[in-house]
Amino acid sequence: MNLSPSSERSTAHVVVIGSGIAGAAASIAAATVTPSVVMLDGGSGASTLATGAIDRVFWKDSQEEPAKALSEGAQAIVAALEGYVVPVLGCAVVTMAGMVRRADGHDAALLDVSALGAGRVGVVDCHRPGWNARELARAWGEGYAPFESSLLRHTDESLLPDADLAARHDDAGRLGWLAERLREALARARTRWTGIVLPPMLGVERPRAQALSQSVGLPCGEAVGSPGGPAGLRFESARDRALSSARAVTVRARASAVERYGETWRVTTEDGLVLQAYSVVFATGGLIGGGIAYAPSEALLATALPPHVKPPLQLTLSAPVRLGARGRLLEAPGSLCGFAPEALARPFARDSLVEAAGILAEGLESGQSRDGRPRGLFAAGDVVADAARAWLGALSQGAQAGADAAQSALSRATVASGAKPAIGPAIRL
């Protein structure tokens, strides 16, 4: 696709702003409808900080809600990403914070402890930062016990960051070496083991747990680690492969403005690229991902009252959308200096504003606006107000927004050109 500024050929059907899980899902879903999809990748965000346990809503909340099946569109995205498991009845994973927790799904490198048979789960005893097999086994409960095995090959590996150690296991030879050590340890052990939990270390390019399990002859997998570990990097690899199969174009740039341009939208990036699109999907991420920024009134630092009221949370690009939280606009704080800090932040507020604020999706449309003119703005993921900041929830929203955006764009492109639009090559799902 020609991406030269302002040229006629740079009109895409759909431009997706953001490359996290919501943006990736939107791009893949849109690319099944139209071949003309551009995803703007402004760098790593919250999805790259994900730890591998994936939920539709916050997992404590999900205990109160009946489990809902994923939509067909969302299932197709999970399948396209190759590397995530979403069992119908959910799963259970262990965390390095000492919890056994339920999840709606998991990165395929993680061990689903709910699927294991009777017996003990071995917690690999090795020198890794934040990993204490004895304490973790005690915290996870009776079914867990330390499992003696040496699986660090080089002396630097007791200090390497999780992601770097995980990258070493992308190599089949090294993974084979690890499997051999585990098999040796199993042969020595008297306990009947039903599964083995390892620190986050099983691959960066792809999850290697399945290959390791087959080689060892016992389910093996990681525990949930900290943000910035291998699970986030595996997401990036899975996303890039899926986007490339879907033939969506990825442009490495940060969007700075979205503005109306006749019947289409004009997206400008920070480095001056201008894209025209019939539909735009906002999937910029929220406060963590960088789509929303906390910008308190400067007057707070001064002695004078500010000249006008300014919401403390703002979108990081200029666009004709409204920010809000809990169904209300953010533009009505109780004081000229903005919201009271107690409303914004923990520990004063349980449901703090920094987690709820986002684009009010009500103002956007999935078909036509009130006056009957198609609009073509969509939003998905953490940037949406009041949405649970959860991975699988963002994926579902993205899948829906991408499909809607592509349909809306196709119908308007058809009207604009008077020609039958070409349907793009659907990805094999």
Partner 1 sequence: MALEFLEQQARSRVVALGPEQARQEALLAAHVRSSLGSAP
Q: How many helices (H) and strands (E) does the chain have?
A: 11, 21
Pick out residues in 35-54 that bind partner 1 (CB under 8 A). 46, 49, 51, 53
327 lies in the binding site for partner 1 (CB under 8 A): no
Binding of partner 1 by 59 (CB under 8 A): yes
Nearer to partner 1, 195 or 290 (CB): 290
Contact between 94 and 198 (Cβ < 8 Å):
no
> Closer CB to partner 1, residue 55 or residue 205?
55
Q: Does residue 326 interact with partner 1 by CB under 8 A?
A: no
Amino acid at 17: I
Q: Does 305 bind partner 1 (CB under 8 A)?
A: yes
Nearest to 376 by CA among 330, 333, 416: 416
Instruction: Give the integer Cα–Cα distance in Å for 50 and 173.
Output: 28
Query: HSE on the CB side for 332, CA within 13 Å?
Result: 6
Q: Toward partner 1, which CB reaches closer, 114 or 226?
A: 226
Q: What does the per-residue mask of binding to partner 1 show for 94-113, with x meaning CB under 8 A? A: -xxx-x-x------------
Q: What span, in angstroms and rounded, lies between the C-alpha atoms of 325 and 302?
A: 27
Stretch that binds partner 1, among 145-153, 235-243, 282-290, 405-413 (CB under 8 A): 282-290
The answer to whether residue 67 forms part of the interface with partner 1 (CB under 8 A) is: no
Residue 404 to residues 72, 225, 358, Cα–Cα distance (Å)? 14, 35, 20
Q: How near is the Cβ of 175 to partner 1 at its closest, in Å?
A: 27
Q: Would you call 98 helix, strand, or coil by DSSP?
A: coil
Burial class (CB in 10 A: 0-12, 13-18, 19+), 341: middle
Q: Which stretch binds partner 1 (CB under 8 A): 5-13, 78-86, 200-208, 349-357?
A: 349-357
389 lies in the site for partner 1, by CB under 8 A: yes
Q: 242 with 81: CB under 8 angstroms?
A: yes
Q: Does 155 bind partner 1 (CB under 8 A)?
A: no
158 forms part of the interface with partner 1 (CB under 8 A) = no
**Cα(358)–Cα(291) distance, integer angstroms:** 9
The answer to whether the CB of 28 falls within 8 A of the CB of 34 is no
Question: Residue 33 or 96: which CB sits closer to partner 1?
Answer: 96
Q: Is the dihedral of CA 301, 360, 411, 16 positive or negative?
A: positive
**Position 276 contacts partner 1 (CB under 8 A):** no
Our finding on whether 336 is near partner 1 (CB under 8 A) is yes
Interface residues toward partner 1, by CB under 8 A? 46, 49, 51, 53, 58-60, 95-97, 99, 101, 224, 226-227, 286-288, 290, 293-296, 300-301, 303, 305, 335-337, 340-341, 344-347, 350, 352, 354-355, 389
